Amino acid sequence: MDLTLILALALGLYMAWAIGANDVANAMATSVGSRSLTLAQAVVVAGILEFLGAYLFGANVTQTIRKGILDANAAAASPDLVLYGMLAALTSAATWLLLASRAGWPVSTTHSIVGAIAGFGVVALGIDAVNWAALSSILASWVVSPLISGTIAFLLLILIRRTILDVEHPIEAMRRIGPLYVLAVVGVMGLVTLFKGLKHVDLELGAVESLLLIAVLSLAVSFVAAYFIRRVPVDRSADHSQQFQTVERMFAVLNVASACAVAFAHGSNDVANAVGPVAAILSIVETGTLAASSRVPAWILALGGVGIVVGLATYGYRVIATVGERITELTPSRGYAAQFAAAITIVLASKLALPISTTHVLVGAVLGVGLARGIGALDFRVVGTIALSWIVTLPMGAGLAILFFYIYSFLLPFVGGP
């Protein structure tokens, strides 16, 4: 096997591992932070669903240049430089994600790889080869993403309070309404998978068939949730505060269901951040040219899925602790509201073609449920650190990519590269 291809596969696995270490907190942080799941349980559940999402629906045909950051003609005219650049982008993004994960910072995987691609693009292809308008829209998403999800989470928590938590008989209300909340979140995450994952899969489903499949799946999961909600022990003689605790235990079922849906959708979408550059390198090594899109073999998707799971198991707990515990205190009902708000925001952004980050969306949603309790419920030192990590992600990705580009372009020709 070509040395460059071996290096690309190793770096793709490294990137997938880094995604698991940082981004899987998007799915599991609220469940762990609210004590709906233990960390060990979250690793197992997220590991299974992230892998299935990545392998079954993870961009079988993927863009070789992610997010249209580079001019396609300029990239196609210099395939060797793009090859070095994609190796550099994988190394850069994964390294930054590793550093952020060690510090417990929830940063954007997509922004990391986009910044890296833009960085090597400037030095390899020229400043005009970079789509600065696309980068500007990404910068705007730093404000738009958390603002939208935070507002939705704030309103959802108020709705939950008025329909369940603050009524005279909250347990009976939860048994009636809880399954409907599960149906809603699974349906929304089904749309996420449809819009962001299935578009890459050779699966011929029309809009009606897709929506019908989502409806059936949502109903099935809501019936299962209703069963587990009713299995939560209830003390009929308990006072209102004890009933409230029982309702929160019931909400743990909803929180876990929403986390599972988010984990599957995340695996189906974000594994492309690891396999997209690998697809570009495969295209160049095999054909000598850069295709606009490239088919990714199933075994590479499986490799990406394994990398995500291992990253979650080894380093994911650090970012989970930041998002789930340090921003604000979470209960199962607040965790559910945050997850559902994030899901709604992702669907809206997918349909409106807004370049949002799932990480930014979830952090904004957690801020929203914290604000619903009052501004004093937020730890602004943690929020400030997170905001700073978001700001430096693009320049860090770009700077590291430039460094690694020069390293690879100098060394690879001496060791059998192109």
Domain that holds residue 232: 3-414
Report the number of distinct structural domains present in the chain: 1
Q: What is the pLDDT of residues 258-300, one digit of tens each?
A: 888 778 777 776 777 777 788 778 878 777 777 666 667 778 8
| The predicted structure's pLDDT at residue 174 | 94
Average pLDDT score over residue span 148-172: 92
3-class SS string, the chain: CCHHHHHHHHHHHHHHHHHHHHCCHHHHHHHHHCCCCCHHHHHHHHHHHHHHHHHHHCCCEEECCHHHCECHHHHHHCHHHHHHHHHHHHHHHHHHHHHHHHHCCCCCHHHHHHHHHHHHHHHHHCHHHECHHHHHHHHHHHHHHHHHHHHHHHHHHHHHHHHHHCCCCHHHHHHHHHHHHHHHHHHHHHHHHHHHHHHHCCCCCCHHHHHHHHHHHHHHHHHHHHHHHHHCCCCCCCCHHHHHHHHHHHHHHHHHHHHHHHHHHHHHHHCHHHHHHHHHHHHHHHHCCCCCEEECCHHHHHHHHHHHHHHHHHHHHHHHHHHHHHCCCCCHHHHHHHHHHHHHHHHHHHHHCCCCCHHHHHHHHHHHHHHCCCHHHCCHHHHHHHHHHHHHHHHHHHHHHHHHHHHHHHHHHHCCCC
Q: What is the pLDDT of residues 314-368, one digit of tens each?
A: 888 889 989 988 899 999 999 999 988 988 887 777 666 666 788 898 999 999 9
pTM of the model: 0.85
